[in-house]
């Protein structure tokens, strides 16, 4: 094998690896509401660099070869972001302060038109914008609840042209996670404002932000929101494929295949070895296994089933890595309006949770998929992660570890009810959820509960409505931020789908967000976990098992629970027979 000498990298000339994934890539802007899917994040994080990312130990890794973040003031809380001198887009244009400024304006919502409701402009079937906004409306569909909403002041650009400083309303623990460059400013502004020269386009974006020019910002937001959504294949030399990471997209067949090629202009620490990475969409898990067996692909990460596990075990020359991912199944109870209003009384909540046959449920749904089914006993901690064992010891989850039918009957009698009805929402097309419903229904009936089937094909759209008393679904975590915790458990937050509100929980979340010390963070999370179980919020059921299988000719693969797919460290992959 010959080492390519033209890139300054250790790329092996003509080396190639093919990966099969279940989700389709369709947007390179994974920070937009429409583009934020695991499949899109997996590709975007392969072709673009960031200040920080999670590794296979769920540890946050800072990539200072791309840029540095530094707190320069605690009161007011100010953070300085500086890009590396050799950070460059694949078209040769420098990554600079204008790119950071675009990321800020798109994901802070600071310059969005107040009170504008975009619902009428969204295709309900896809979530994509299909109608033009009214003239003068500025609306970036960014991640405006991730933390940048606390930085409402126009950023201060550095004299070096490669940095900016954000002033936040207050200190918050997730400050290292909130600002990513994303898509290039010179391309977005150039397309929006019909400017061909990159530096002129960058300056136009800076001027538009600093002057809050509604007309220009509206045009820029339109491109940022929609231009990177690929219903059709862009030209191979399209400026929409410009990126700044270890790889670039060199070919795209929407819904089918993405070809990544080592980026010759990349100078960061994520130096790739494979020259070409082909990512194929194969939705059927067994079809992925067959493609691996026949040598059509080298790496797969199929959804596990008994058939998949059994078939993989029969293959030779294959390495199988079993792990868990960031998703976990859970049962939530509704605290707000619901068909039967059954869970306003904490005694009835506790009684219902005491009937859930968690061990039986885990064994019958995922027990045949892995030798060690992972029942989850914490609302906040990932099984096996630091703090999990300590949290489980004191959070009160033991009360719901196994069915206590007699205890449930006593609580119902104390509450003055004998046959409460619980309308349970779930996805009827998912066999596991159907089985979960049946097991919960039958066990709860022994204590007197009548659990009715409120499943719906539109279960996802019904979450957060008053159409059910309890729900079975999964949360998918991509980070360990306090922002994510607040979104689900905080009063009135976007991800709070069951109307939960508890002043103690809100106060603990607030303390979490402003406490930098690791040991105090851990103690606060354990206290919060305990408070949620004491309130009979619901019960976590199990962590989703995951597997990656790959041909023994490929090395360096390391499944990571919080990563957006197996590609998270593709730059570490190499052929087994590669020269040292």
Specify the DSSP class assigned to residue 56: T
Element (H, E) at 250: strand 247-253
Contact between 30 and 539 (Cβ < 8 Å): no
End-to-end CA distance of the chain: give it in Å, rounded. 11
Cα 420 to Cα 336, 343, 347, 414: the distances in Å are 17, 10, 12, 13
Contact between 261 and 2 (Cβ < 8 Å): no
Residue from 359, 360, 370 nearest 306 by CA: 370
Give the list of residues 6+ apart from residue 83 with CB closer than 8 angstroms, or none.
Answer: 66, 67, 95, 96, 97, 99, 100, 162, 163, 181
pLDDT for position 356 = 97
Which residues lie across from 44 on neighbouring strands?
A: none
Residue from 97, 40, 519 nearest 249 by CA: 40
Distance of CA 392 to the CA centre of its chain: 25
pLDDT for position 168 = 95
pLDDT for position 374 = 76
3-state SS of 268-305 is CCCCCCEEEEEEEECCCHHHHHHHHHCCCCCEECCCCC
Burial class (CB in 10 A: 0-12, 13-18, 19+), 333: buried
Specify the DSSP class assigned to residue 129: B
pLDDT for position 2 = 37
pLDDT for position 3 = 40
- pTM beyond 0.75: yes
pLDDT for position 147 = 87
pLDDT for position 7 = 42
pLDDT for position 1 = 38
Provide the token pair at 167: 């002033």
pLDDT for position 207 = 98
For residue range 81-135, list pLDDT tens digits in order: 999 999 999 999 999 999 999 999 999 999 999 999 998 998 877 888 988 999 9
Specify the DSSP class assigned to residue 324: E
Provide the token pair at 84: 């590396």
What domains does the chain contain, in order, with CATH numbers? 1-47+241-317+552-580 (3.40.190.10), 49-181+184-227 (3.90.76.10), 325-544 (3.10.105.10)
Local confidence pLDDT in tens for the 580 residues of the chain: 334 333 445 899 999 999 999 889 999 999 998 998 889 999 999 999 999 998 988 888 999 999 999 999 999 999 999 999 999 999 999 999 999 999 999 999 999 999 999 989 988 778 889 889 999 999 999 988 788 999 999 999 999 999 999 999 988 888 999 999 999 999 999 999 999 999 999 999 999 999 999 999 999 999 999 999 998 888 777 999 999 999 999 999 998 999 999 999 999 999 999 999 999 999 999 999 999 999 999 999 998 888 898 899 999 999 998 888 888 999 999 999 999 999 999 999 999 999 999 999 998 988 877 666 678 999 999 887 788 899 999 999 999 999 999 999 999 999 999 899 999 999 998 888 999 999 999 999 999 999 999 999 989 889 999 999 999 999 887 778 888 899 899 999 888 999 999 999 999 999 998 888 889 999 999 999 999 999 999 999 998 888 999 999 999 999 888 877 899 999 999 999 875 4
pLDDT for position 341 = 94
């Amino acid at each position: 094998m010959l080492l390519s000498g033209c890139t300054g990298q250790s790329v092996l000339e003509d080396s190639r690896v093919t990966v099969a994934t279940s989700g389709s890539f369709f947007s390179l802007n994974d920070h937009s509401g429409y583009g934020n899917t695991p499949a899109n994040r997996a590709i975007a994080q392969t072709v673009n660099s960031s200040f920080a990312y999670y590794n296979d130990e769920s540890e946050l890794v800072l990539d200072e070869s791309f840029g540095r973040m530094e707190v320069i003031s605690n009161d007011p809380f100010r953070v300085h972001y500086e890009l590396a001198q050799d950070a460059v887009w694949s078209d040769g244009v420098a990554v600079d302060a204008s790119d950071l400024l675009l990321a800020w304006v798109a994901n802070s919502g600071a310059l969005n038109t107040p009170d504008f409701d975009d619902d009428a402009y969204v295709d309900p079937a896809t979530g994509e914008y299909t109608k033009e906004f009214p003239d003068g409306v500025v609306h970036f569909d960014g991640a405006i609840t991730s933390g940048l909403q606390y930085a409402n002041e126009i950023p201060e650009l550095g004299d070096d042209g490669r940095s900016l400083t954000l002033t936040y309303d207050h200190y918050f623990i997730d400050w290292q996670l909130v600002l990513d460059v994303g898509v290039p400013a010179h391309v977005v502004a150039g397309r929006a404002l019909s400017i061909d020269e990159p530096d002129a386009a960058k300056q136009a974006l800076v001027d538009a932000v600093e002057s809050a020019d509604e007309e220009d910002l509206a045009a820029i937001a339109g491109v940022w929101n929609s231009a990177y959504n690929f219903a059709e294949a862009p030209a191979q030399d399209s400026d929409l494929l410009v990126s700044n990471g270890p790889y670039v997209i060199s070919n795209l067949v929407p819904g089918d295949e993405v070809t990544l090629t080592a980026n010759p202009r990349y100078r960061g620490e994520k130096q790739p070895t494979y020259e070409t990475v082909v990512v194929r969409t194969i939705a059927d898990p067994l079809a992925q296994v067959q493609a691996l067996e026949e040598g059509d692909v080298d790496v797969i990460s199929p959804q596990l089933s008994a058939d998949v596990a059994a078939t993989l075990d029969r293959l030779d020359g294959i390495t199988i890595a079993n792990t868990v991912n960031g998703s976990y199944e859970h049962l939530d109870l509704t605290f707000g309006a619901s068909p039967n209003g059954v869970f306003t009384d904490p005694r009835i909540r506790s009684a219902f949770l005491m009937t859930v046959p968690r061990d039986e449920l885990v064994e019958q749904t995922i027990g045949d998929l892995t030798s060690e089914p992972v029942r989850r006993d914490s609302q906040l901690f990932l099984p096996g992660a630091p703090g999990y064992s300590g949290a489980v010891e004191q959070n009160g989850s033991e009360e719901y570890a196994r069915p206590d039918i007699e205890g449930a009957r006593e609580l119902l009698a104390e509450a003055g009810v004998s046959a409460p009805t619980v309308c349970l929402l779930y996805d009827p097309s998912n066999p596991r959820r159907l089985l979960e419903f049946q097991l919960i229904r039958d066990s709860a009936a022994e204590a007197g509960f009548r659990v009715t089937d409120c499943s719906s094909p539109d279960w996802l759209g019904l979450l957060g409505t008053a159409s059910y008393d309890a729900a079975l679904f999964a949360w998918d975590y991509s980070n360990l931020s306090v922002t994510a915790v607040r979104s689900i458990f905080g009063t009135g937050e976007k991800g709070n789908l069951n109307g939960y509100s508890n002043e103690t929980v809100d106060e603990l979340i607030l303390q979490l967000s402003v406490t930098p010390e690791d040991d105090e963070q851990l103690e606060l999370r354990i206290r919060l976990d305990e408070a949620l179980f004491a309130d009979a919020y619901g019960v976590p059921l199990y962590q989703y098992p995951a597997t990656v299988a790959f041909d023994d000719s490929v090395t360096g693969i390391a499944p990571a629970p919080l990563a957006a797919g197996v590609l998270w460290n593709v730059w570490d992959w190499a052929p087994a027979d590669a020269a040292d």
